[in-house]
Amino acid sequence: MSLAEYGFNVDNGYLEGLLRGFRSGILNKTEYLNLVQCETIDDLKLQLQATDYGNFLQNEPSPIAVSVIDEKLRSRLVVEFRHFRNHAVEPLSTFLDYITYSYMIDNIILLITGTLRQRQIAELRNKCHPLGSFAEMESVNIASTPADLYNAVLVDTPLANYFKSCITQTDLDEVNIEIIRNSLYKAYIEDFYQFCQNIGGATADVMGTILAFEADRRAFIITINSFGTELTADDREKLYPSCGKLYPYGLHQLAKCEDYEQVRQVAETYPEYASIFAGAGNNPGEKTLEDRFFEREVQINMLSFMQQFHFGIFYSYIRLKEQESRNIVWIAECIAQRHRTKIDNYIPIF
Amino acid sequence: SSPCSACVTSMYFRIARYKYYPYQRNTYVIGRQSIIIDFITRYTPNTRFTVPAREMGSILRSEEMMLLQLLLQSDSAYACVRELGEVGKVEFKDLNAEVSAFQRKFVNELRRCDEMERMLRFFVSELEKAGIPIAEPPLNCQAPDPHHLIDLETLFSNDEESLKQLNANQESLRKNLLDLKELKHILDKAQTFFQEGEEVLAEAFVQQQTTAGGVGGAGGGAPALYSKQSELNQKLLADSDVEAGGLATTRFTFLIGVIPAENLLVFTRVLWRVCRGNVFVKHAQIEEPLEDPTTGNPVLKSVFILFFQGEQLNARIRKLCDGFRGTLYACPESVPERQQVRLQVGARINEVETVLQNTKSVKEVALGKIAQSVEEWQQKVKKIKAIYHAMNMVNLDISHQSLVAECWCPVKDFHTVQEAINRGTQLSGSPISAIVNRISTPETPPTYYKVNKFTSGFQAIVESYGVASYRELNPTPYAIITFPFLFGVMFGDMGHGLMMLIFASVLIIFEKKLAKTKAGGEFLSIIFSGRYLLLLMGLFSIYTGIIYNTLYSRTTNVFGSAWRPYYYGTKNQSFGTRMFTNSCAPVSFTNCHNYPFDGACNAVYCDNRSEPVRCTFPTEAQLSSQPYPFGLDPIWLIASNKLTFSNSYKMKMSIVLGLFQLMFGVILSIVNNIKARSLISIIGVSVPRVLFLMGLIGWLVFLMFYKWCKFYSEPVKAPNLLLTLIYMFLDFGDSPNVKGDPVYSVFGINEPETAAQRTIQVILVITAGVCIPWMLLMKPIYLIVKTKRAEKTKTMKMMTDSTSMTVPLVPLEGHNSKMAEMADVSGAMEKGEVMMQEGKEEEAAAGHGGHGQTPSEILVFSAIHTIEYCLGTISNTASYLRLWALSLAHEQLSEVLWVYAIAKYNIAMFGSKSGGGFIIMFALWAVWAVLTIGILLVLEGLSAFLHALRLHWIEFQNKFYEGEGRKFKPLSFAIVLAGEEDE
């Protein structure tokens, strides 16, 4: 233990204890099995009552829409997160702020895309994740170029630093927005990675693993998604976050790839990714690559609870809860649409 | 042994009481139903031990329970369960444990209840918002019949609908009002805004004229508005193409609107950035907080006005306002127009407010109606929900005509239960009555005590250690006395006890009021539930306080001290002489102070000496006159050897009390063994335990009493009991007396009893030595032999008996043709019960480790228990010394408090005779009183309470109490309603 860890509990002990308590509220296998058996959304509500979620849907009138469940799940998580944030002291508070930046990026992109498609800001406002909301957020619709966006809106926000590399883009169109999103993420992940390394100790270890995986996953996804677009190999390489295990050799290889098969070959040189690609596919009975990545993400995040005195569990908890929300919503959607064949495609956590 | 006479009488009494018992062996008929009750089985000698406890009262042992099988007709099931819920005497067994919650039969009804509860919560929250008090419900509101459920539902949803409608109306009106009010504020502020704006613009224009020196050119540079952070320093660099005659305002577009105050800062900043400074902003806070139309919460808003030029900017600024949730309003530029609009707006506001007021009063009327019955509805829905929860635990009959429920019910309340079922059947108007069967089961029934408000507190103390196993001896009735008594031993002070008594009495006198208020939170409610415990604790503290003769660390001298020193040595010359040689010259009684007791101890303080003359050891003669009638002699208060005396006394007393309680525990374990009819446990475990305890600690206690009787006047010769006990073992019983050392000779030296002591001690040591292997081996060996023998016959026995364990259902109405069958059934039941009894006996015979059947396990368990008991004999007894320690601590603390808070200053003041002392005394008394309550009553009380608790849990209950039962959780509406309120 380093010296900092001796004092960990002075500042963060309460929150860590609380969080570990919350963690045991994450749904387990048997609870998922019960959820999957449900016939209607009302059954689902009844089953969720028996879990840690308790009465969170009790004030909703009876035909419950899936969107309502989604919203309630999200607001529950937000309440928990705000509680952590309000009780946190440095450097945990900054760490928690870093977690919100990814939501901020998502919100910005959502709003820009929305305004491009002539949606009303009031309509988009409700779709934004509350964790990533900030005061200037809703004024993005006045910006017509990235430079505008930066100067008018983002310059005061924590995202300003990440945005610098995007100012050169001329237009705000669909492709450019994707590029902006990815370069924002690249800058964000690298910055977050650096921040965690500066904290050091177990936080650096745990978050290093998690963020390296995150970075590599983005690199793979960007590569696969860019097939068939006009994005050049060089441009593509610029979007790869450089804190992953693929860096630098694997990223070069990825940049040269031209089809899925080549990507798979690149992945095969890395044992941890080889296994992910091995079981992935779009045929029935196989899981999609996205799900395989989610599974691995869940595994990695579970592991972070094995260590004590570090901030990684806060990140992991949020990620696991997000995954849980996705699972519940997936199951609810399957039930609502009477599409039970794929109901088992959720990703169990315990 | 034969059944006691009481139980036989009661048996006959019982049988005689049921007139329906003439000809059928096991069946009697009440009302419209045939009920099978196996009376013969109940009162055969096999079960005779269960009867006396039933007659004697339920607190000694838990209620006898039986498992009932109810065949409920599906149309009357609801009513029956409802009546059972009102009675609150049956616990439904979950027969569908493996079925998940949403697959059960009545899940739809439960869902409807949930929905109704949601609506009720909505009503309550609306009532709270409107500040309308909720009316008390009528005393007894029955759960409605299932077909009335729909009525309730429609009632609720209609109410909800109308409320929501009203809310929507209200919201749109409020929105309207908000807009109008915002406009009103804008119009109010507009005047100053325009004025200031014009001034600034004009000033800037002039400045521009002078500095730029008339740089002209139509359509020249874009207007550059420059605004700094500080509002006061806002300057305008007007464009150069403004005509000199006209004011700048005519050329500027302006937008005016309202924005939430918290967004204002960021808004202006972004605005400045977006327009590159080409905008002039004025804003003012609206002082009066406006109402948010949806939530009704107050929100602070600000009015802003923007001056700028150009259409492009206009569009961007409008977008920005939208983004920051600002609302823009059209505002006429000229003053008269504004005034006109202002008047119109004022009128509109009045109108809308009137309408709003009307809506509000309509809503209040609607809510007022709801408030009358919302509590009643809540209770009803809770009851319905409880009923369906219970009915979800029930199995469906194969024919789906009836429901089969199994439930536990106290044997005593069987008739209540039955009547409830009858009532339910009648109320539902079902032609076929429900059928009640008693079925036998190998399951252990739940533990149920009928407690009242007095015993419940004590029962709670026992149960926080562990719920008693079924029909086990309950420690509560003994704890009712021993617990407060042991507390009193540690807390002995008349004054403190009295205060506790008064506090408890207040709680008890006002208990009905206090029970309703529920104020004070969890901690006070715990104290409240233990009020009778507190009462007894107070009483016993007073009692022990009288024995210790302490009142707030002082003493009382009610009867006059019995201590008479003989200064002139008339009766005991040597003693008197010693006194005189050590102390002052002979004094007469008249020269002495009356301190602090009149008459009784005049000679203690002599006037020519500051130190009192103290008689440390009064002679036999001095005391032989007459002892103080009750408790300690008050003279001990000022004796220098007071502590030595009270320590010795309390230490011995603790051991004596400890022995009694431990012995009582062992005796209770014998009673348990008798009930289980386990002779081997009595002979193999209980007898050696008694011998071991009595041989060691019992002998010590006997010596204590003997010493008290014999050695009071000659302290030097008094023997040391501890050493006696130690050397009794080290030197095998005999040495101390033979050595002739006075320290060990309790019976005196060279007296006839000396030899007796030696003999007794030798016998005791041998007995104790024998007891250990006795405890260790006898029962295990017996069990091992027995199991081996049983194994040979077991398979045979099981094959013949297994059929009798299952009991078929018994059909309805007393058809004669069925009688034979019934007799068969009950015969089988009887057998089953006998089997159970045997099974239990075996289990009980195996003792605590009875489940482990291999010989080595039995031996290991026995070894553990033997070691535990033997060590416990010493350590548990020593544990009772805490009585002395706590009592000493309490006494010393209160004395320290008295001396340092009051007595010292008291003496000082009486010495100085100054009048100001009164005020100081008054203040000091407050200090003393606060500390007395805070430290002595609360803290010391808590610590004494915990130690008494420990003595009961560990030392006492350890000896006989298993505490592995399961609490009886009946379906009871009273519990349902009370429990929900607690949440």
Sign for the pseudo-dihedral over CA of A197, A202, A205, A209: negative
| Nearest Cβ partner for A135 among B102, B111, B266 | B266
How distant, in Å, are the alpha carbons of B216, B428, B578 from that of A330?
Answer: 68, 46, 100
The region that residue B466 occupies, defined by phi over 0 for left and psi between -120 and 50 for alpha, beta otherwise, is left
- CB contact (8 A) between residue A38 and residue B111: no
Instruction: Answer whether residue B8 shows pLDDT above 50.
Output: no
B500 pLDDT band, cuts 50/70/90, is: very high
Please tell me the distance from the alpha carbon of residue A335 to that of residue A348, in angstroms, as a whole number: 18
Q: Calculate how close chain A gets to B303, using CA atoms only, in Å.
A: 19
Name the range with the highest mean pLDDT among A149-163, B229-243, B307-321, B349-363: B349-363
Q: Dihedral of the CA atoms B481, B487, B489, B493 (nearest 10)?
A: -110
A 46-65 near B (Cβ less than 8 A): 46-47, 50, 58-62
- Lookup result for tokens 């005393």: B139
Q: How confident is the model at residue B660 (pLDDT cuts 50, 70, 90)?
A: very high
Rounded to an integer, the average pLDDT of B553-582 is 56
Residue B281 three-state SS? strand
- Closest chain A residue by Cα to residue B112: A62
Picking from B27, B50, B47, B51, the residue whose alpha carbon sits closest to that of residue B37 is B27
ipTM of the complex: 0.80
Lowest pLDDT segment from B375-384, B738-747, B779-788, B938-947: B738-747
CB atoms inside a 10 Å sphere around CB B356: 16
Residues A101, A105, A107, A108, CA torsion sign: positive
Q: Over the stretch A25-42, which tens digit does the pLDDT of each residue have?
A: 899 888 898 888 888 888
**Neighbouring-strand partners of residue B92:** B407
- In terms of DSSP bridges, do strands B402-410 and B65-73 run parallel, antiparallel, or are they unpaired? antiparallel
Q: A156 CB near a chain B CB, below 8 Å?
A: yes
CB contacts of A43 in chain B (<8 Å) are 102, 107
Distance from CA of A58 to the nearest CA of B (A): 7
| Nearest chain B Cα distance for residue A307, angstroms | 36
Statement: residue B490 has pLDDT above 90? yes
Closest CA to B280 of B257, B306, B312, B314: B306
Does residue B228 carry a pLDDT above 50? Answer: no
Q: In this model, does residue B617 exceed pLDDT 70?
A: no
Q: pLDDT at position B491, please?
A: 93
CB B331 within 8 A of CB B305: no
Evaluate if residue B28 carries a pLDDT over 60.
Answer: no
Query: What pLDDT shows up at residue B291?
Result: 79
Q: Could you tell me which chain A residue has the CA closest to the CA of B318? A: A142
pLDDT at residue B523 is higher than 70: yes
Q: Is the CB of A46 less than 8 angstroms away from the CB of B101?
A: yes
Average pLDDT value for residue range B182-198: 78
pLDDT category of residue B747 using cuts at 50, 70 and 90? low
Q: Is the pLDDT of residue B498 over 70?
A: yes
B93/B98 Cα distance (integer angstroms): 13
Would you state the pLDDT for residue B973? Answer: 85
What is residue B495's predicted lDDT score, i.e. its pLDDT? 93
Per-residue pLDDT reduced to its tens digit, B406-427:
889 888 888 888 888 888 888 8
Residue B799 has a pLDDT of 60
Chain B residues within an 8 Å CB radius of A160: none
Q: Which of A139, A149, A153, A154 should one mutate to test binding to chain B, selecting the residue with the greatest count of B CBs within 10 A?
A: A139
What mean pLDDT is predicted for residues B740-752? Answer: 61
Q: Which residues contact B385 (CB under 8 A, 6 or more apart)?
A: B110, B113, B114, B117
- Kind and range of the H or E run holding B543: helix B531-548
Tokens (6 digits) for B178: 């908000």
CA distance A50 to chain B (A): 9
Q: How far is B29 from chain A (nearest CA, A)?
A: 44
3-state DSSP helix/strand/coil % of chain B, to nearest 5: 65, 10, 30
CB contact under 8 A, B270 and A121: no
**What's the average model confidence in pLDDT over A135-158?**
80
The band of B240, judged by pLDDT with boundaries at 50, 70 and 90, is very low
> Measured between alpha carbons, how far is B757 from B763 in angstroms, rounded to an integer?
10
Determine the Cα–Cα distance for residues B858 and B838; give it in Å rounded to an integer.
19
> Is A46's CB within 8 Å of B107's CB?
yes
Asked whether residue B751 carries a pLDDT value surpassing 70, the answer given is no
What is the model's pLDDT at position B18? 38
Reported as a single tens digit per residue, the pLDDT across B834-884 is: 444 444 444 444 444 444 468 888 899 999 999 999 999 999 999 999 999
Give the pair of three-digit tokens for residue B197. Answer: 């704006």
Residue type at B32 in one-letter notation: R
Interface membership of B228 toward A (CB under 8 Å): no
A152 vs B: CB within 8 A: yes
How much is the average pLDDT of B644-668? Answer: 93
- Asked if A145 reaches chain B (Cβ–Cβ under 8 Å), the answer is no
Q: How high is the pLDDT of residue A213?
A: 93
Q: Is A107 an 8 Å CB contact of chain B?
A: no
Contact between chains at B322 and A122 (C-beta distance less than 8 A): yes
* pLDDT given for residue B882 in this prediction: 95
B930: pLDDT strictly greater than 90: yes
Instruction: Say which of A46, A121, A151 has its CB closest to residue B102.
Output: A46
Q: Does B114 touch chain A (CB under 8 A)?
A: yes
CA distance B606 to B275: 104
pLDDT of residue B520: 62
Q: Measure the CA–CA gap between B834 and A164, rounded to whole angstroms.
A: 88
* Angle between the N-to-C axes of helices B335-391 and B973-982, in degrees from 0 to 180, rounded to the nearest 10: 140
Instruction: Give the closest of A50, A60, A151 to B101, CB-based.
Output: A50
DSSP state, residue A151: I
Mean pLDDT over residues B973-983, rounded? 67
Chain A nearest-CA distance from B113, in A, is 11
Of the candidates A42, A138, A151, which has its C-beta nearest B324's C-beta? Answer: A138
Nearest CB neighbour to B102, from listed A38, A136, A140: A38
CB of A135 within 8 Å of any CB in chain B?
yes
- Is B623 an 8 Å CB contact of chain A? no
Predicted pLDDT at A180: 86
Span A281-294, mean pLDDT?
A: 81
Judged by CB atoms closer than 8 Å, whether chains meet at B316 and A142 is answered as yes
Report the C-alpha gap between A187 and A82 in whole angstroms.
25
What's the start-to-end Cα distance of chain A, in Å?
Answer: 28
Assessment of whether the complete model's pTM goes beyond 0.80? no
A-interface mutation test, from B104, B107, B110, B114, most A Cβ less than 10 A away: B114
Segments in chain A forming alpha helices (H): 3-6, 8-23, 29-36, 41-49, 66-87, 92-116, 121-125, 146-148, 160-163, 174-199, 201-226, 233-239, 249-256, 260-268, 271-278, 289-303, 312-336
How deeply is B264 buried, as exposed, middle or buried, from its count of CB atoms within 10 A (0-12, 13-18, 19+)? buried
Average pLDDT of chain B to the nearest whole number? 74
Choose among B114, B121, B263: nearest Cβ to A135: B263
Q: Quick check: B319 and A39 CB within 8 A?
A: no
DSSP track, B799-859: HHHGGGG------STT-HHHHHHHHHHHHHHHHHHHHHHHHHHHHHHHGGGTT--SHHHHH
Of B111, B269, B323, the CB nearest to A121: B323
Question: Which of A47-61, A302-316, B522-536 is predicted most confidently?
Answer: A302-316
User: Do B319 and A153 count as a contact with CB atoms less than 8 A apart?
Assistant: no
Instruction: State percent of chain B over pLDDT 70.
Output: 71
Q: pLDDT at position B723, please?
A: 80
Inter-residue contact B681 to B779 (CB < 8 Å): yes
Sign of the Cα torsion A309, A312, A316, A319 reads positive
Contacts of B117 in chain A (CB under 8 A): 58
A-B Cβ pairs (cutoff 8 Å, strict): 64
User: Is residue A155 pLDDT above 50, yes or no?
Assistant: yes
| Residue A319: pLDDT over 70 | yes
Q: How confident is residue B568, by pLDDT bands cut at 50, 70 and 90?
A: very low
Tell me how close the Cα of B327 comes to any Cα of chain A, in angstroms.
13
**How close does chain A come to B248, measured CA to CA in Å?**
27
B124 near A CB under 8 A: no
Query: Hey, is B599 helix, strand or coil?
Result: coil
Query: Is residue B665 over pLDDT 90?
Result: yes
Nearest to A162 by CA among A226, A241, A86: A241
pLDDT band at B481, cuts 50/70/90?
A: very high
Q: Is a pLDDT exceeding 70 seen at residue B92?
A: yes
Sign of CA dihedral B240, B244, B249, B250: negative
Strand partners, B28: B35
The DSSP result for B853-901, as a single string, is: -SHHHHHHHHHHHHHHHHHHHHHHHHHTHHHHHHHHHHHHHHHHHHIII
Which residues, in sequence order, are bridge partners of residue B254? B307
- In chain A, pLDDT over 70 holds for what percent of residues? 98
Among B558, B665, B676, smallest CA distance to B951 is for B665
How far is the C-alpha of A319 from the C-alpha of A301, rounded, in Å? 7
* CB contact set of B503 (below 8 Å; sequence gap of 6+): B534, B538
**Alpha carbons A136 and A154: distance in angstroms, whole number:** 8
* Least confident segment among A321-325, B575-579, B609-613, B866-870: B575-579
pLDDT class of B745 with cuts at 50, 70, 90:
low
Chain A residues inside the 8 Å CB shell of B316: 142
User: Using CA atoms, how far apart are residues B191 and B338, in angstroms rounded to an integer?
Assistant: 9
Instruction: Say how far apart CA B258 and CA A168 lie, in whole Å.
Output: 37
Residue among B270, B274, B322 minimizing CB distance to A121? B322
Query: Taking residues B668-695, what's their average pLDDT?
Result: 91
User: From the centroid of its chain, how far is CA B944?
Assistant: 19
